[in-house]
Amino acid sequence: MSEEIEVEALEVEVSVQPIELYKVLKIANLVSGGGEAKYAISEGYVAVNGEIELRKRCKIYDGDVIEFNGEYFVVICDQPVQEAQVREQKTSQVAVIEKPAKKDKKTPAVKAKKNKANPSTSKNRSVTKKEAEKANKKADTATGRKPISF
């Protein structure tokens, strides 16, 4: 005994599918920006295919019905689903990124730096500006860091 009610729905054309829910709201000019769209979704003001949707990046496909602010919108897309291409890109990116091998916490450069007394921090002798610069340059070549000047 369920009654189906005919409701007029506006069409929202998108160029790619799947597309995130918050982007559909922006494309349809239902909100002024992405932040507002995400807020409206997280507060429960948006329904997808008759159910309240709280996920901002919920995947929307051709034919999905979105309800927002008392109006209904049907997503229209003539492009094929690009899910397989997205997965392939992610796996190829993961293959390229590799973790570096673990190194000792104390590398030879760090050991050398710790063993040498830094003239600029030594309490026993006063240091000229030229000597301090030379010491900083040596430390920089050992660690590979650039000096900071204020």
**Residue ranges per domain, the chain?**
9-81, 108-143
∠ CA 39-43-48 to the nearest 5 degrees?
A: 95
CA distance 133 to 135: 5
The one-digit pLDDT tens for each residue of the chain (150 residues) are: 556 666 778 889 998 989 999 999 999 999 999 999 999 999 999 999 999 999 999 999 999 999 999 999 999 988 888 865 545 555 555 544 555 566 555 555 545 455 455 544 545 566 677 776 666 665 556 666 766 666
Helix, strand, coil percentages, rounded to 5, for the chain:
35, 15, 45
Q: How far is CA 52 from the centre of its chain?
A: 25
CATH top class, domain 9-81: alpha beta
Q: Which burial class, exposed, middle or buried, applies to 70 when counting CB atoms under 10 A from its CB (0-12, 13-18, 19+)?
A: exposed
